Structure 1
Amino acid sequence: MDTTSLDSIGLAAFDPGQWEDGANTLDVGDTRISLRTLADSATLTLSHDDAAGTDALVTATADGTVTLRLDVPLGDAAGFWHPDAGWERTLPADWSAWRGLSLVRSAPVGCLYDTAGRSLLALATDRTVQETWIRFGVSEERKRFGVWLRLSLAAGQTCRLRIPAPGTTMAAALRRLRQWLACLPDGEPLPVPEFARTPVYSTWYAFTQDMTAAEVEEEAALAAVLGCGQLFLDDGWQLHGNGRGYAGCGDWQPDPVKFPDFRAHIRTVRQTGLRYTAWIAPLLLGEHSSAYQAWAPYAPHYVPHLDCHILDPRHAEVRAHIADTCRTLVDKYQLDGLKIDFLDEAMTYAAAPAPDQPAPGYTPDVGEAMAALLADIRDALRALRGDQFVIELRQPYTGPAMTALGNALRATDCPADPVANRIRTLDIALLSPGGAVHSDMLMWDPQATPESVARHFHGALNSVPQISTRLTRLSPNHRDTLAFWLATWRRLAPVLTSGHYEPGRPDELFPQVTATCENQRVITNYTDKVVPLPTEAWRSLSLINASTASRMVLDVSGPRRRVCVQTYDAQGRLQQATALLLTPGIHTIEVPPSGLCVLDGSVMNQCGLSTKESPDRVR
């Protein structure tokens, strides 16, 4: 029997009894599901559907804490994926730490996969809002992999677990789970306006906090010409927004020196064709703000590295104050949306005791409190803008439940790191049932080669790219490179962001990503990896060489097919246009580093060559 409460979980304490089967233990194929409770305070039942998989339902018969374990044989397991994996993508041991989950911290979803990238055990629960704990790892003694979920349930409450059938790719298993999650109560994704899917110009890495209205307007004009559709004004626009730290946060008024007429400035930017979204971190309360005195009693926790306090969203008064602040900011300055930051700081109150006499509306669970807060913000913006607004949220609060509350989900900060940008955007997209997935802002060395600039862009390919460099200072080579890849992205966006990806194994950092949409396909090679190339089921195929190699190796299968081939270098300069006969077997085609190769099977005469020609550059 389990006598451990949620509050007493040790972050790395090994539980010798965690592999003991509870009174409720059931098998589904190779998967064992075991429920441990205090005094048999919950029941476990299973239901199965050949198409959907297996549902495990835990029903509490009394108030208490339950622990649910799922375990499978190790087989050829290579790693365990979960939304907050970061760089940990292999197999931890079963004495690894418990992890806290809630609406604003990851999600109760995971997938154990093998060396072929196939799912061995995929799972998700409907407990996407409330605080939950998860742990997973390999048993040295049993040669099995286990996943433990621990949660508190009141009498009559349930927790449903969905387990799709194993054997599909990891991405396919997660697609099934995200469809199920989108159908949960209050899980319907928020509509995404068309402009939210257009490239973004962000001020953060370009200016950090040192900006003026005139400088931002100058950058906005160039961003619009290059093909951006949105401007995100980041930290630094607000009063006291200078220097690292957030001691001045809380008032959310524009700095009169930087932005003497904030509304006129926004109007000027919007006249370029860009929509305008502003940054806000509404939970942060700094001691230098005028709001501090009134709201300090509701913000007892101080974070030294942020140099500010955190408002406790469990209080109804705090939620009402923040929602009104956001509504007023959007209404007064005619903003098109809000970039809402530092929401994960709310988890500091996950283990905090409730006040002795809480006011009406107090919500003890942090996840439920944040859901209520974000719903209030969403509804306030919807009353002002209909569905034509953006609420941007960033990792780690980009779980599937968040798509009902925000419609732009961004990778967490990874300055000048295209590998991290690739991994984080794909992690979000694999699980998100809605919303526009956004990259972290792109920045690079001003002296970088065009190939290096292109590789930064390639890290954001399967998401909405956010650009954050001083466009007025770009060299001609960098401007040409950026313009080419922005234009290429806009042309391929329906494929790149459709949500149907096969990225391969997470522990290999997604080295080759195949995206498909209708009769178009885009394959991006991040390493010099052989590209499987069936000749059927596509009209247009784009091969992106996001590596330093100067060729791409194709493993062609299917019927012989003639196509038009055009290759471009990193700056978009045409290198060759030729006809190619695709035949089964291994072929090598010259593609410059950070370049693009387009295969068109519909209009051969665009090549300007006879279809009988067989170019030497393709072997």
Structure 2
Amino acid sequence: MTYRRWTLRTEHTSYTVRLSPDGPWAELDAWGPLGVEDGPSALDWSHRTHFITPADAAPAEYLPYGLRPFTGADLVAAGPDGERGVWWEFDGAEEGPGSLRLAFTDELLGLRTVLCYETVPGTDVLLRWTEHTAGERELRLGRFDSAAVNVPVTGAAARLTYLSGQWSQEFQRTQLDLPRGTFSIGSRQGAPGHAYAPWLAVQDGEAAYGVALEWPGNWHITAEAEPGGSVRVRAGRVPHEGAVLLAPGDTLVTPRLACAFSSDGLDGLSRMWHRYERLLTGDRLHRPRKVLYNSWEATGFDVEAAGQLELAKVAADIGAELFVVDDGWFIGRHDDTGGLGDWYPDPAAFPDGFDRFVADVRALGLDFGLWVEPEAVSPGSRLYAEHPEWTYRIEGRPARLVRNQLLLDLGRTDVQDFVIGTLDRLLGAHDISYLKWDMNRPPTERGRPGAGSADRLDLDAEHVAGYLRVLDHLRTAHPGVTVEGCAGGGGRIEHATIARTDVVWPSDNTAPLDRLAIQHGFLHAHAPHVMSSWVTDAPGIFDPRPRSLAFRFVNAMCGVLGIGADLRAWTPEQRAEAARWIARYKEVRDVIHHGEARLLGSPEEPTCGVQYDAGDRTVVAALSTGRLDGAPLLPGRPDRLRLRGLDPAARYRDTATGTTYGGAHLLHYGLPFAWSAEYDADLVVLTRDPHRAGT
């Protein structure tokens, strides 16, 4: 049978879409390594369908309720009469370099839907989204996913990998097999949330397919193991009021869904996401991410100039390059019950003036940064007294406090203008080069009295648009300022945020083994150069086993190194050790941030680590997660960490010990580590010798 089909190619993969021979829809023909489209489609199984329609059985790219009534529609739309359903016809294709647009129209309903595809040069990522345009009547969209992704499964079940958790335990790598049925994750907290990341991987053996949704608001990802041996993944945003009204002539554009395939399993898939996020960072990737010191864990809300300068002096002495004053620097902020919204330095905390304090910090050779939470407001603040209407609220209902605060309605342009003006004032009046943007309160009573019927508001999308507008303004108006994204830890980390910030904060939990598990999961989805990580004295919450200062440093050096401990309490020996680790980090951070990263083992194993490769250098962060006494599994025998991706015929020299290894030796046997109670982590730097092994 003759049918139209289109193939989009990246450096290593191809994605082929065809018009279905069974009806007016597009369906996946092939997705995998280059050339996978040559041959009969692996998704073209028997078209015999009992009790369901051909559309319900199809590996459809996108189908509306109406054409697909039973097994999960990607679009649910209704006209003014309330009748749901779309019965569209194909309305043409537009092809461009690395792009494809497939249009479908329902003339009776008055809806035009365009399925959009775009490859990302320099990566193996394909972006997908959908555009819906209303005709002459208002339409009600109850569901409008970004895309559907089909994965053929040759085995009994697909292996799903996702990142789950809670506050202080984010990004836990979690896996399950899905032989049949439906699996769903998401958030209705006005942010991606701490419970799940908007990211999913589906494995069929070593073949790994991944999706990541670019949306910092409400969202869902749903995977369905369908009859016939396929897993179909749907992803998109979830409107706060359950539906969005589309005015005549208006177009709704869904968030982008990034899709990637790797024949090298989850590890290969993670490197694809890392490469994509390096591209999202753009030219700012090559600005060194400076070693920071943050004073929160040392002083909490007790911020005063003398104590902060004392910390800054010690931080500078051990090699920090940036000093950040966290919560507590502004008027009315003596604890978490006040001050938010009144963003002026507290004169009592800085008796000689805030600018003098900043200048004293900078005189130590440190850049200066501040913590802000611009979406929040305290009920006792001057801002709230002047503008109570700026908060989310429902008329006649009590305003519920979360963390003793309310949330500003950032969907309002006047609130956006206030936030932009506040940040412009702070950055213009003071010598600030770093902002830590926090968000500690999800929306609860989400309403906007006086703005009309609640079901006509798209509050989630408006808040997201306001948030992104402010971040875009910071990029444009203050290009020299580094921005850290934080939401009570890792509550708002996805590609829209990563594209507009420089680093993100994966979790408020900085305990060594807890943090190791968090970072292990984080690096499956996100790149090392965006992962801010601190060395602190925090005890474990979920895994309280103690670890050395070296362990804490090596673990934090796997991303963007920071220190958050009370340095005044450290001994001279601890400070000297810290200075040595910071110096080593500065020597290799370009490899860590720009190189190809490979996850070695997992925190459940006695030894795990991360390998970074760039040019002729390989950096291995190795960590012992085993017994407290450091005893190996077999007495007298070192544990070994097998490396990957090296040239087996090359030789590699350990720059610290001078030991030379053949590439095949490191791949087959691995690096040896004779762990002990005092030696539970190491950073090994290998340089590739131009001579071949065995010569």
- Pick closer, same or farther for the CA change 1:77–1:450 going to 2, 3 Å: same
From 304, 325, 335, the equivalent of 2:401 is: 304
AA at the equivalent of 1:313: L
Matched, 1:330 2:427: yes
Structure-1 residue corresponding to 2:16: none
Structure-1 residue corresponding to 2:81: none
Structure-1 residue corresponding to 2:500: 405
- Pick closer, same or farther for the CA change 1:313–1:198 going to 2, 3 Å: same
Aligned 8 A contact 2:608 2:622 in 1: yes
Structure-2 residue corresponding to 1:27: 28
Aligned 8 A contact 2:528 2:592 in 1: no
Task: Give how far 1:229 is off.
Answer: 0.6
Task: Give how far 1:264 is off.
Answer: 0.6
Structure-2 residue corresponding to 1:91: 176
AA at the equivalent of 2:27: L
Q: Tell me the TM-score normalised to structure 2 length.
A: 0.66
Aligned 8 A contact 2:216 2:493 in 1: no
Structure-1 residue corresponding to 2:201: 111
Aligned 8 A contact 2:529 2:560 in 1: no
Task: Give how far 1:203 is off.
Answer: 0.4
- Pick closer, same or farther for the CA change 1:22–1:356 going to 2, 3 Å: farther
From 157, 170, 175, the equivalent of 2:266 is: 170
From 245, 248, 260, the equivalent of 2:339 is: 248
AA at the equivalent of 1:442: T
Structure-2 residue corresponding to 1:390: 482
Aligned 8 A contact 1:42 1:60 in 2: yes
Matched, 1:594 2:686: no
From 191, 207, 210, the equivalent of 2:284 is: 191
AA at the equivalent of 1:478: Q
AA at the equivalent of 2:430: Y
Q: Any residues of structure 2 matched to 1:425-444 within 5 Å, and which?
A: 425=519, 431=525, 436-440=530-534, 442-444=536-538
Spell out, residue by residue over 1:561-589, the C-alpha distance to the aligned partner (whole angstroms, 9 max, x if none).
Answer: 4846745xxxxxxxxx6667787464756
Mapped partners of 1:234, 1:161: distance in 2: 34
Aligned 8 A contact 2:485 2:503 in 1: yes
Structure-2 residue corresponding to 1:232: 324
Structure-1 residue corresponding to 2:576: 480
- Pick closer, same or farther for the CA change 1:293–1:49 going to 2, 3 Å: closer
Matched, 1:120 2:196: no
From 495, 501, 517, the equivalent of 2:597 is: 501
AA at the equivalent of 1:147: V
AA at the equivalent of 2:506: A
Structure 2 gaps, min length 5: 1-21, 31-41, 44-58, 64-72, 77-84, 87-110, 238-242, 394-398
Structure-2 residue corresponding to 1:316: 413
- Pick closer, same or farther for the CA change 1:110–1:265 going to 2, 3 Å: same
Task: Give how far 1:74 is off.
Answer: 7.6
- Pick closer, same or farther for the CA change 1:519–1:77 going to 2, 3 Å: farther
Secondary structure of 1:398 counterpart: coil
Structure-1 residue corresponding to 2:361: 269
Secondary structure of 2:428 counterpart: helix
- Pick closer, same or farther for the CA change 1:113–1:491 going to 2, 3 Å: farther
Aligned 8 A contact 1:77 1:113 in 2: yes
Secondary structure of 2:581 counterpart: helix
Structure-1 residue corresponding to 2:222: 136
Task: Give how far 1:177 is off.
Answer: 5.3
Aligned 8 A contact 1:559 1:583 in 2: yes
Q: Any residues of structure 2 matched to 1:550-589 within 5 Å, and which?
A: 551-553=638-640, 558-559=648-649, 561=651, 563=653, 566=656, 584=665, 586=669, 588=672
Structure-2 residue corresponding to 1:375: 469
Q: Any residues of structure 2 matched to 1:522-541 within 5 Å, and which?
A: 522-527=619-624
Aligned 8 A contact 1:425 1:438 in 2: no
Matched, 1:366 2:460: yes
Mapped partners of 1:400, 1:23: distance in 2: 32
AA at the equivalent of 2:284: P
From 302, 307, 330, the equivalent of 1:215 is: 307
Mapped partners of 1:97, 1:372: distance in 2: 28
Could you say what the CA RMSD is over the residues aligned between the two structures, in angstroms? 4.4
Mapped partners of 1:119, 1:25: distance in 2: 23
Aligned residues: 543
Spell out, residue by residue over 1:368-408, the C-alpha distance to the aligned partner (whole angstroms, 9 max, x if none).
Answer: 5344344345535753x5x2211111223232112343222
Deviates most, 168-177 or 262-271: 168-177
AA at the equivalent of 2:598: E
AA at the equivalent of 1:133: W
Q: Any residues of structure 2 matched to 1:40-119 within 5 Å, and which?
A: 40=86, 52=124, 58-60=130-132, 62=134, 63=139, 64=141, 65-67=143-145, 69-72=148-151, 73=153, 75=155, 77-82=158-163, 86-87=171-172, 89-91=174-176, 98-100=185-187, 104-105=191-192, 108-113=198-203, 118-119=206-207
Spell out, residue by residue over 1:249-306, the C-alpha distance to the aligned partner (whole angstroms, 9 max, x if none).
Answer: 2212222332222111111001111111111111221122222211212114545341
- Pick closer, same or farther for the CA change 1:177–1:524 going to 2, 3 Å: closer
Secondary structure of 2:613 counterpart: strand
Mapped partners of 1:461, 1:96: distance in 2: 35
Structure-1 residue corresponding to 2:14: none
Task: Give how far 1:148 is off.
Answer: 2.7
Secondary structure of 2:435 counterpart: strand
Mapped partners of 1:436, 1:512: distance in 2: 18
Task: Give how far 1:226 is off.
Answer: 1.1
Mapped partners of 2:422, 2:409: distance in 1: 16
Matched, 1:203 2:203: no
AA at the equivalent of 2:162: W
Aligned 8 A contact 2:529 2:593 in 1: no
Aligned 8 A contact 1:102 1:367 in 2: no
- Pick closer, same or farther for the CA change 1:181–1:265 going to 2, 3 Å: closer
AA at the equivalent of 1:242: H
Aligned 8 A contact 2:618 2:685 in 1: no
